Structure 1
Amino acid sequence: MSESAVPSPRPIRVPVRYRTGEAGETSRVVHMAVWTSSAVYLAMCGAELDGHRAEVVVSGMPCMPCVRELALREDRPDRSGRAVVAPADFRLPG
């Protein structure tokens, strides 16, 4: 397969929240985020979580703006049944 035929990798989203003691309980919602090269998790809602203050989790109260963005940006089939990517597909800045 030629290099031009290889699809660009999509960022891997992980559920993260602030560690205990790093933020108040009401601020410890679970964000869907990607790891960036600047040691920060970039959440789908736009929040930036310092990698040293955050933890990857498997459950917790979800960030509703992240849930909304995730629902709007997921791949979905078009009328012909082929999968298409929503126009607002999640991409890292830069």
Structure 2
Amino acid sequence: MVTPVEIGLFVLVLALLFGAYRIIKAVKPLIVNAIVGVIILFIANFLGIAGGIDISLIAILVCAVGGVPGAILVIILAYLDIAFVGMMAPLVLL
């Protein structure tokens, strides 16, 4: 015989599964956008766009959070020499 506790637990598990499905369904496009943004950043750096982008933790985070628009922002800022610009090695003066 099925007890009310078992029915309650079954309903709770179904609600949790449905909620997890909805969260994963909502987050999936954001994860894909973030991965594509980071790939665009690495391709732009490989091709030498904007004189070489300094791939730092902040640039990767901007691309991961912003996705494709974040990658475009990093590329534009590097092109305009505002941020994320790869620096040349400083000369040591003797």
What TM bracket, shorter-length normalisation?
A: under 0.3
TM-score for the superposition, normalised by structure 2: 0.25
Structure with greater Cα Rg: 2
Name the structure with the higher helix share: 2
